[in-house]
A and B are shown apart, each in its own frame.
Chain A
Amino acid sequence: MYWGSVSEFLAMGGYGLYVWTSFIATALGITWEVLALWRRRAAALADSRGIVRSIE
């Protein structure tokens, strides 16, 4: 473990704003993509008129 305390970790040596914006934006991007895919899949299944049952 490199950090001495939680506040030190969050401060990121004064670069906290930039570092955390980067990591949170990436996490949001991934979350958004997974949620969007989930909804797309639900919509596609609803419109698929049962072809999934015939193939799976």
Chain B
Amino acid sequence: MNWSKYSAPLAFYPLAGKMIPWFSAVAALAIAVGLYIGLLVAPTDFQQGDSYRIIFVHVPAAWMSMFLYVVMAIWAGVGMGLNARLSFMMAQAIAPTGAMFTFLALLTGAMWGKPTWGAWWVWDARLTSELILLFQYAGVMLLRTSIDDLRRADRASGVLALVGVVNIPIIYFSVKWWNTLHQGASVSMTAAPKMATIMLTAMLLMTFGFWMYSIAVILSRVRCVILERESQPAWGNPSAAPEVAEAR
């Protein structure tokens, strides 16, 4: 099978359409089971009380906010390296979902901070760098829409996305590098999780669910982007200029 043919947007369009229902179904199932375990089965935390249950949406949202940014930057980089239109379309499709999860991570974090620290917001390294990530997503999206020439818009926002990757390790390691009010990682790649198994199970299920959800909505959005871009009139035709302006 020749997979490279799917790098053409109009060939990828139907393939993406076939994948969306599967990712949606798996996402719905994982989130349903995750919510059931997290809200109904898992016991309360002896230190934080039931406010700890916020982590079942906070941590997955925060992970997705960082992960999606890296994936967006990779697609932008691939787009620039291979001059591939579909890669830029993927980068464009990822940004709004990443921004939403960043916003949710900040909001649910405030909901956790108020009862736990006594403050909705503090300017510690973890919170500040995550807020900067929200501005980065906004910047990448705004830069794209502010440039009329699509190819230049893709490249400019791609460069911005790639440069901004430097913030991701800063967010991730901020709780180690600085003395933050935000607690350290409960789950890391190098040590055993500092959580009860039942709580960890719920959190990982929610993360997996958010991950599958992200794939489903991003595929769905990239289909919209393909339609929007491919249905634009040809650039060479001067009589199509008003239509081009309208389509943007």
Chain A: residues with CB nearer than 8 A to chain B? 1-3, 9, 12-15, 18-19, 21-23, 25-26, 29-30, 33-34, 37, 40-41, 44-45, 47-49, 51-52, 55-56
The answer to whether the Cβ of B230 comes within 8 Å of any Cβ in the partner chain is yes
Report whether A41 and B224 are in contact in the complex, using a CB–CB cutoff of 8 Å.
yes
A12, B53: Cβ atoms closer than 8 Å = yes
Q: Are B114 and A18 in contact (CB under 8 A)?
A: yes
B241 at interface by CB-CB < 8 Å? no
18 contacts between A and B (CB under 8 A): A1-B40, A1-B41, A2-B43, A13-B51, A15-B50, A15-B51, A22-B112, A26-B104, A29-B100, A37-B217, A41-B223, A44-B224, A44-B227, A44-B231, A45-B227, A48-B230, A49-B231, A52-B13
Which partner residue on chain B sits nearest A44 by CB separation? B227
Interchain residue pairs A-B with the least CB separation, the first 9: A13-B50, A44-B227, A15-B51, A48-B231, A22-B108, A12-B50, A18-B111, A22-B111, A26-B57
Q: How far is the CA of A15 from the CA of B47 in the complex (A)?
A: 13
Q: Considering the chains assembled together, what is the distance between the CA atoms of A48 and B228 in angstroms?
A: 7
**Cβ proximity bits B35-59 to A, threshold 8 Å, 1 near / 0 not:** 1000111111000011101100110
**What is the interface of chain B, defined by CB distance below 8 A to chain A?**
10-11, 13-14, 17, 35, 39-44, 49-51, 53-54, 57-58, 61, 96-97, 100, 103-104, 107-108, 111-112, 114-115, 213, 217, 220-221, 223-224, 227-228, 230-231, 247
A39 smallest CB distance to B (angstroms): 10
Main secondary structure, interface of B, reads helix
| Residue contact A47 to B51, C-beta cutoff 8 Å | no
Are B107 and A13 in touch, CB under 8 angstroms?
A: no
Question: Is A18 touching B51 in the complex (CB atoms < 8 A)?
Answer: yes
Q: A19-B53, A55-B11 are in contact. List 15 more A-B contacts (CB 8 A).
A: A3-B40, A13-B51, A14-B50, A18-B115, A19-B50, A21-B111, A22-B57, A29-B104, A33-B96, A33-B97, A34-B217, A37-B221, A37-B224, A40-B221, A48-B227
A55 touches B224 (CB 8 A): no
Give the distance to chain A from B93, nearest Cβ to Cβ, in Å: 10
Inter-chain contact B228/A18, CB cutoff 8 Å: no
Bound-complex Cα distance A49 to B112 (A): 49
* Bound Cα distance A15, B45 (Å): 12
Residues of B within 8 A of A21 (CB): 111
